[in-house]
Amino acid sequence: MKILVAVKRVIDHNVKVRVKADGSGVELANVKMAINPFDEIAVEEAVRLKESGKATEVIAVSVGDISYQETLRSAMAIGADRAILIQRPAELALEPLDIARLLQQIVDKEQADLILLGKQAIDDDCNQTGQMLSALLDYPQATFASQIKIDGGTLQVTREIDGGLETLEMPLPAVVTTDLRLNEPRYATLPNIMKAKKKPLDIIDIADMNFSPLGQVKTLKVSEPKKRVGQCTLLSSATALVSELQAKEVI
Ligand code: AMP
């Protein structure tokens, strides 16, 4: 069974994001980048499925500029066997439906049985690509997975929903998006980082694909969130919070 994992490169979650002075986007120059945390979880899950004998190959795939090679090497250091980069010019902005249309072509080419994506990219918070990909492929989907089980050609996915856990069953091939509690990704060891440098990374120029961007969504402006007004007070206990709220006649 082949697993394809979609991996996005985002600003490292420990970095404080700064907005460009002209409001055209966020500052990326000299900023530490990392694999999108939900995608790291997806890679970890795919590697665990391979280690348990349920999968035979794990392929990491990205749509991005040349810098994405580093991100794909990180995915291979966790344990992906090989990687594919659909290389786009750095200035070409793509929307989730574009990414899904490109991923669809790779899924078709690779004949992957399970396609794992993060539930959302922490930079745009779109939470759209997995759902759109499943619709384009006409594959069943399970979003926000907190547990994945595979038994032959059947997939069982547990999802955290309001008030409990929901378990879905579906046939493969399928699209699954990962939630935070699915697993805790391993640290890539130095030997595995070294090994990852030698794993195959195929680069496909976006111009060689049957693709033209939709250009339906335009970013008009990016701005800093409004500064908080009022003062924050750290309370020592829940009892203190209740007293405070009662004093203010909130409850
Ligand atoms: P989004 O819909 O933008 O929140 O992204 C959801 C998921 O789609 C991410 O967690 C990735 O798994 C995948 N994805 C989004 N953008 C890309 C990209 N440029 N390359 C590869 N995968 C992507």
pLDDT, block means (10 residues), the chain with 251 residues: 97 94 91 97 98 97 97 98 97 95 98 97 96 98 97 94 94 97 96 97 97 93 86 89 90 82
39 lines ligand 1 (CB under 6 A): yes
Alpha-carbon distance 46 to 68, whole Å? 20
Task: Specify the pLDDT at position 35.
Answer: 97
pLDDT score for 200: 98
Q: How far is 239 from 232, CA to CA, in rounded Å?
A: 17
Indicate the DSSP class of residue 19: B
Mutation pick for ligand 1 pocket among 8, 103, 119 (CB with most ligand atoms within 8 Å): 8
Counting from 1 in the atom list of ligand 1, the atom nearest the Cα of 120 is 4
Burial 206-238 (b: 16+ CB within 10 A, else e): beeeebeeeeeeeeeeeeeeeeeeeeeeeeeee
Taking the centre of ligand 1 as the mean of its atom positions, its distance from the CA of residue 214, in whole angstroms, is 17
Residue 164 burial by Cβ neighbours in a 10 Å radius (0-12, 13-18, 19+): exposed
Ramachandran angles phi, psi of 204, nearest 5°: -110, 125
* Closest listed residue to residue 46, CA positions, set 12, 1, 13, 86: 1
CA angle 121, 82, 131 (to 5 degrees): 35
pLDDT recorded at residue 114: 98
Pick the atom of ligand 1 nearest to 125's CA.
4
| AA identity, residue 4 | L
Q: In degrees rounded to 5, what are phi and psi of residue 196?
A: -65, -30
Mutational test site, ligand 1, from 72, 117, 143, max ligand atoms within 8 Å of CB:
117
108 CB burial (10 A radius; 0-12, 13-18, 19+)? exposed
SS3 of 24, please? coil
Answer whether 169's CB lies under 8 Å from 156's CB: yes
